[in-house]
């Protein structure tokens, strides 16, 4: 049974809650266990996942504690270039950690022009991007198993 680390930034609480609800339901449906960790913002998510990748299960076991990772958060466009920096750097950070550690990471960090757009994408009864990020991890874990055969 895969064990997944979910890292969520609750900067926009309602949006984060919807993303988390969708991700948890998708993982439970796929019979995965998970742990949820909160970080202040989207820029902190890649480092939190890297921390999770570096932790081993049990003393001397040599096995990672987590099989996969889900990144959840939201960045909404404002009036400055901060939006572009946070969007680009959080995505770049996730990609770097994923490739450096060969980790499946589902990127559920929404990058939206408005709060309404973010709510539409986050809500479990609408676009359910939290579930999509969780299912991406499960799919990559399944692909890894196939490739090892």
By annotation, the residues acting in catalysis are 82
3-state secondary structure of 5: strand
Work out the burial of residue 111: count CB atoms within 10 Å of its CB; fewer than 13 is exposed, 13-18 middle, 19 or more buried: buried
Whole-number Cα distances in Å, 76 to 58, 73, 92, 98? 39, 10, 18, 24
User: CB of 41 within 8 A of CB of 71?
Assistant: no
């Amino acid at each position: 049974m895969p064990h997944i680390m979910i890292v969520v930034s609750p900067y926009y609480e309602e949006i984060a809650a919807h993303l988390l609800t969708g991700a948890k339901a998708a993982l439970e449906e796929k019979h995965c266990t998970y742990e949820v960790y909160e970080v202040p913002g989207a820029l902190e998510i890649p480092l939190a996942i890297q921390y999770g990748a570096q932790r081993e299960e049990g003393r001397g076991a040599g096995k990672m504690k987590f099989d996969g990772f889900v990144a959840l958060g939201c960045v909404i466009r404002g009036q400055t270039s901060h939006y572009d920096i946070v969007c680009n750097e959080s995505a770049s950070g996730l990609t770097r950690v994923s490739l450096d550690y060969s980790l499946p990471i589902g990127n559920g960090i929404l990058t939206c022009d408005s709060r309404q757009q973010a709510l539409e994408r986050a809500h479990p009864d609408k676009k359910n991007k939290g579930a999509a990020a969780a299912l991406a991890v499960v799919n990559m874990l399944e692909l890894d198993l196939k490739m090892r055969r």
